[in-house]
Amino acid sequence: MKNPVKDKSYSFAIEIVELVKQIRKSHEEYDLSRQMLRSGTSIAANIEEGDAAFSDKDFHYKFSIAYKEARETHFWLRLLRDTDYIKEETAEKLLIQLTEILKLLGSILKTMRSKK
């Protein structure tokens, strides 16, 4: 069965890994890119864990972490763009994808809160 937030976050994680490889190769930058790699891949990892949650509380917790990691990744993408480590077009493409993921996560979390 299709799971849009899972699929989109996994595709996004792949793009983040590829982007970090590019940054490290072209700029030999490791500190900022490491932060983005960690937060950008953590989104999908937490969604995956949340999808296998044993309780609604655990599900909500993991999806909340995924949301926070997405917000952090948003910050790193903007910072890397504004410090010329990544191109404007690359950043905008990823920011659009990330905004879609944030909207999906926000909707899921809102639904969970309304069920309580």
pLDDT of res. 19: 98
Helices and strands of the chain, counted as H and E runs = 4, 0
Which pLDDT score, from 0 to 100, does residue 112 have?
Answer: 87
Check residue 114 and give its pLDDT.
87
Q: What is the pLDDT of residue 1?
A: 75
Q: Which two tokens stand for residue 104?
A: 């999906």
Say what the pLDDT of residue 113 is: 86
Q: What gap in Å lies between CA 20 and CA 56, rounded to an integer?
A: 34
Residues of the chain where predicted confidence (pLDDT) is lower than 50: none
Q: What is the pTM of this model?
A: 0.94
- Distance between CA 1 and CA 30 in Å, rounded? 38
